[in-house]
Structure 1
Amino acid sequence: MTPVLVRCARGVDAAVLAVLCAEHAAYERAAFEGTREALRAALDASSPRLFAWLAECDGVAVGYASASFEYSTWQAREFLHMDCLYLREHARGAGVGRALFEATVAHARAFGCAELQWQTPAWNDGAARFYRRIGAAPASKLRYRFALA
């Protein structure tokens, strides 16, 4: 694999980001419910809630990470929640995931966060191995969804 470039995603990247998000959702056996317009608006907002990074090889997107700031009442401080880290299959095992993770960590540190949190499906053994290799500790919780529409 050629060298990877990790860069911040902007609204102009919403179309490629939407494709990657849909691939990621399918990989995790879920539906992609977003739109490229919604992603564009979130990325270009004057006070963005969404931050994203694209990994590219030879100008072609091979993965992404996305995150947003959250507040922990238990720790009484802000943390960065990494919503997604996804790589196309051919990009796995080549350091691309680590590069995306490091970009996310750098963003969290730049904004004074003391912690980065995320989740992955319990069945995703490859992701669990990756996260253990980079020094992450699992947290045992169940995640729930409650539709409001």
Structure 2
Amino acid sequence: MDRLTVRDVERGELAELADLCREHAEFDRGLDEPVQPLPDDLAERLEEQIFGPRPGIWCLVAVAGGALAGYASYCWHPSTWRGDSYVLLDCLFVRDGVRGQAVGRRLFDAGVRRARELGATRLQWQTPRQNHAGQRFYERTGAHGVDKLRYTLSL
């Protein structure tokens, strides 16, 4: 693999990021996850979420050979029980063909560093129950799983 760089996504990469999100959704569908089709205007929506006047997320990308090899997106999430907020790792995905080359770990570690720099004391995320490779990856980071069932209600 060409030299890999992990950095913030740039505006000009949002169409490619949207394509990567579609690959991620297809990967999760392969794990029997009930993923709805992604919107056609996803790149525009991501621009608002990442670069808009009130950004909701930040997104790191792994770049190799001038192309996106993976991404990780993060956001703040409030905690009623603690009266504070933690960082939520919303998505972490690495393209087929570059998996197993520490791309995911580099994205994860960069996100942990950013969360610490921003003052977070906790990082949380979820992964599909059938994503056994993802679970092994997360366990190698030193994290522990919490057995909860997440529900989604379409509105």
Same fold (TM over 0.5): yes
DSSP 3-state at the match of 2:38: coil
Change (3 A) 1:4 1:56: same
For residues 125 and 21 of structure 2, what CA distance do their matches in structure 1 show?
Answer: 16
CA offset digits 1:63-95 (Å, max 9, x no partner) = 100111111111221111111000012111111
Pairing partner for 1:33 from 14, 38, 47 = 38
Moved more, 28-37 or 116-125: 28-37
CA RMSD of superposed structures (Å): 1.2
Structure-1 residue corresponding to 2:19: 19
Note the 1:17-96 alignment, pairs <5 A.
Answer: 17-29=17-29, 30-34=35-39, 35-96=42-103
DSSP 3-state at the match of 2:97: helix
State the TM-score, normalized to the length of structure 1: 0.94
1:136 pairs with 2:146: no
* Matched-pair contact (CA < 8 Å) for 1:22–1:31: no
State the TM-score, normalized to the length of structure 2: 0.91
DSSP 3-state at the match of 2:14: helix
Deviation at residue 40 of structure 1 after TM alignment = 1.1
- Letter in structure 2 aligned against 1:103: A
Structure-1 residue corresponding to 2:9: 9
1:111 pairs with 2:118: yes
Deviation at residue 146 of structure 1 after TM alignment = 0.8
Which runs of 5 or more residues in structure 2 are unaligned?
30-34
For residues 22 and 39 of structure 1, what CA distance do their matches in structure 2 show?
Answer: 13
1:147 pairs with 2:154: yes
Which runs of 5 or more residues in structure 1 are unaligned?
none
DSSP 3-state at the match of 1:91: coil
For residues 68 and 10 of structure 2, what CA distance do their matches in structure 1 show?
Answer: 13
Deviation at residue 31 of structure 1 after TM alignment = 3.2
Change (3 A) 1:8 1:103: same
Structure-1 residue corresponding to 2:32: none
For residues 43 and 24 of structure 2, what CA distance do their matches in structure 1 show?
Answer: 15
* Matched-pair contact (CA < 8 Å) for 1:70–1:81: yes
Structure-2 residue corresponding to 1:100: 107
